[in-house]
Structure formats: C-alpha cells, structure tokens
C-alpha cells in the first residue's frame, strides 16, 4: 500500500535514503512546492537538488495543474495535469509508472497531490505550502477542506 509522509519542505527530505530504497522517478508538484504560485523560476537550491538526483540516475518530472509556462530550468513538465486524476500522467509516463515502488510524488496539497499519488498507487511526501496567501481560488477552497479534514482526524 502506498505510504504518505509529511515534511516541512522538499529540503527536509532525505533523498539519499529514498534513492537507496529504490526510488528513481520523482514527480514534483511546482506551485507552492518548488516555488510560489505562477512562478517560472526554479530556485537555486531546488535546481541543485534536481541536478544531484539526476547525477544519481533518477528521473525528475514536474506534474502541475498550472498553466503552461517556460521555467528557467530544463526539466520535463506535464502542465494542466488534472490532478488528482492520473489519466494524463499515465498517458505521458506509461512505461515509467510500471514499477510503482520506484515512483514518488512530492506535493503540497492533500486533495490533488496526495490523492493523485494514491490513485497512481505510489508513495507520496506531502510538504507544507510555501505561501498560502497567493493561490488560485480553487486551491484556497481545497485548503479549507484540508483544514476540516485535519481537524476531523485529530478528533479521532
């Protein structure tokens, strides 16, 4: 069964441990995971992380529900991915998703990224969003439901 782990940011993830455990394909959300909403900049620390992972033989993909934009770092991107639905990602990365134990999703939203990973049947790491003040209206509504769900779970 796919596992969910929570951390503060992508920089709190032990990627060496993940690589040693067999993770080879990393599907990163972009907005509020790598950088703030609608940004086109991949921060230097994230770019160094991507370069490191690539040097270890890993494959990096950005899977975003956002509109297409030109990022300042060369990385394969699936824009308008329609997460949590997995059909577009399955279509584009079909062969790469065959070995589910090698795939990891990293994102900041429960109702898109975490659910997306569950539908793919792969592990996921949920990070805290970088900036909740600047988000799409739909994302703000989903965050409201996330908070309700979090309170419900804490009460149990």
pLDDT tens per residue across span 25-73: 999 999 999 998 788 999 999 999 999 999 999 999 999 999 999 999 9
CA 43/CA 80 separation, integer angstroms = 21
pTM: 0.84
Calculate the average pLDDT of the chain: 88
> What's the pLDDT at 131?
74
CA of 98: how far to CAs of 62, 81, 92, 94, 150, in Å? 18, 19, 12, 7, 32
The residue written with tokens 């994230």 in the block is 46
Distance CA 142, CA 154 (A): 18
Residue range 76-98: mean pLDDT, rounded: 93
User: Which of residues 43 and 149 earns the better pLDDT score?
Assistant: 43
The DSSP code sequence of 77-132 is EE-S--TT--HHHHHHHGGGGSSGGGEEEEES-IIIIIHHHHHHT-EEEEEPPS-T
Whether the predicted pLDDT of 125 surpasses 90: yes
């Amino acid at each position: 069964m796919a596992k969910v782990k929570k951390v503060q940011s992508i920089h709190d993830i032990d990627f060496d441990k993940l690589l040693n455990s067999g993770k080879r394909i990393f599907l990163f959300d972009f907005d509020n995971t790598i950088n703030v909403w609608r940004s086109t900049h991949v921060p230097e620390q994230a770019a160094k992380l991507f370069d490191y992972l690539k040097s270890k033989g890993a494959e990096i993909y950005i899977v975003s529900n956002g509109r297409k934009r030109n990022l300042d770092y060369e990385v394969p991107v699936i824009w308008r991915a329609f997460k949590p639905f997995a059909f577009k990602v399955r279509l584009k990365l079909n062969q790469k998703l065959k070995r589910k134990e090698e795939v990891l999703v990293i994102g900041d939203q429960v109702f898109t990224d975490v659910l997306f990973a569950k539908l793919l049947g792969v592990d996921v790491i949920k990070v805290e969003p970088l900036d909740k003040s600047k988000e799409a209206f739909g994302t703000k509504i989903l965050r409201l439901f996330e908070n309700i769900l979090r309170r419900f779970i804490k009460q149990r």
